[in-house]
Amino acid sequence: MALLPRTAALLTTVTQCRALSQRAGARYLLVDGHNLIYRAFYAMPQLSRSGDRPVGAVMGVANTFLKLALPYSRVVFCLDPKGPGWREELCASYKETRPKMPPELRPQVADAAAVARAFSAAVVCVDGYEADDVIATLAARHRGEGVDVLTGDKDLLQLAAYDGVRILDPQGDPVDAAKKFGVPPGRIGDYLALVGDASDNVAGVRGCGPKSAVALIEAFGDLDAILAGAPDSDAVPKRARAAIAACDGEALRRDRRLVMLREDVPLPPLAFDPFAWDNVLAMADRFEFTTFRRRAEALMRDDGLK
């Protein structure tokens, strides 16, 4: 798949960019909202607008949209809901070690969603389901139309198993999911269940590191085959065999459910308003993004609109 323009400096007009996007096979951009907001929060200065309302993360999100969102005719900004979801119901300790959201970031989530809407993105948040599941459901539904997923979350690399779905890192560069983990994208869920995920408090198999996990998947395939065959097999190193023989198989299967993505989220109808620069400029004025406004106006001049 041909690469899309990465930076505002490479953009010509919105119409031309969207034509490039569609020729490259990507019509949808699915944005991992909270992942982008957190990354922007820690990457940007602690800025505030009038009234001391923090807007550093909001500016980071706005910059990302200006760089990356314009080529797409359908953009969806996916957010995690408040409160527990089905994973917490399955495992009470899921994510319990994750730090709480910084208080100065909390009000910026709604403001970041307002930025997305200014770029004519649909904002989706479904009670009981993480944004990962929303993205997976949308990717499965629209893969035939071409889907790019913007995220820094390793769980979403599983979606690279689909033809027509590409994973982009937060800078907009394609990610080679198979190269990153050493297993096919369709086996990333099994890999993460084996090695664990400290950020989500998923334990994994004690004594099973990345090399052992790759060896087990290469030898047996999926997790069920690993549990059935590895303890008595000479096809994998002794350490990997011993780790599987000693593990709790049911707990491991539960961990796989935790890291796997759901594709059956009950989604609301998506509405995409026509893109309008006036909405982007109004958003810039609302958050007092003076430099951002100048950059947007420069793109408008390229569009012949200013």
Could you tell me whether strands 28-32 and 74-78 are parallel, antiparallel, or unpaired per DSSP bridges? Answer: parallel
158 lies in the same domain as 189: no
Asked if pLDDT for residue 11 goes beyond 90, the answer is: no
Same domain, 197 and 163: no
Amino acid at the residue 117: R
- CATH classification of the domain holding 237: 1.10.150.20
Q: Is residue 305 part of a domain?
A: no
Same domain? For 140 and 284 the reply is: yes
In a domain, residue 190? The reply is: yes
- Give pLDDT, residue 3: 33
pLDDT tens for 127-181 read 999 999 999 999 999 999 999 999 999 999 999 999 999 999 999 999 999 999 9
pLDDT digits (tens, 9 = 90+) for 32-80: 999 999 999 999 888 888 888 999 999 999 999 999 999 999 999 999 9
The pLDDT of residue 304:
65
Checking if the pLDDT of 18 tops 70, the result is: no
The pLDDT of residue 26 is: 63
Report percent pLDDT > 90 for the chain.
83
Beta strands in 82-141 (DSSP E): 122-124
Evaluate whether residue 205 is within a structural domain.
yes
Residue 217 has pLDDT above 60, yes or no: yes
Strands 147-150 and 165-168: parallel
In this prediction, residue 74 carries a pLDDT of 96
Which helix (H) or strand (E) covers residue 299, if one does? helix 290-302
pLDDT of 22: 47
Instruction: Kindly state whether residues 161 and 236 are assigned to the same domain.
Output: no
Question: What pLDDT does 51 receive?
Answer: 84
Domain CATH number, residue 283: 3.40.50.1010
In a domain, 105, yes or no: yes
Q: How far is CA 138 from CA 30, 104, 118, 276, in A?
A: 8, 31, 21, 24
* Reported pTM: 0.90
Mean pLDDT of the chain: 90
Number of domains in the chain: 2
* Nearby residues of 202 by Cβ (< 8 Å), 6 or more positions away: 94, 192, 193, 196, 255, 258, 259
Looking at the structure, do residues 83 and 157 belong to the same domain, yes or no? yes
Residue 123, Cα to own-chain centre: how many angstroms?
14
Residue 4 has pLDDT above 80, yes or no: no
* 109 in the same domain as 216: no
Q: HSE of 7 in the Cβ direction (CA atoms, 13 Å)?
A: 2
The reply to whether 230 and 88 lie within a common domain is: no
Parent domain of 197: 185-259
- Give the pLDDT score at 46: 87
**Which of 9-13, 38-42, 263-267 is the least confident region?**
9-13
The answer to whether residues 202 and 73 belong to one domain is no
Q: Does residue 304 sit within a domain?
A: no
Residue 103 has pLDDT above 70, yes or no: yes
150 lies in the same domain as 134: yes
Q: Residue 193 is inside which H or E element, if any?
A: helix 188-195
User: Please, which residues have CB within 8 angstroms of residue 210's CB and are 6 or more apart in sequence?
Assistant: 181, 182, 191, 195
Whether 282 is covered by a domain: the verdict is yes
262: helix, coil or strand?
Answer: coil
DSSP label of 143: G
- pLDDT at position 1, please? 31
Which DSSP helix (H) or strand (E) runs through 253? helix 249-259
pLDDT score at 244: 95
- Phi, psi (5° rounding) for residue 257? -60, -35
Contact 136, 264 (CB under 8 A): no
**Same domain membership, residue 290 and residue 229:** no
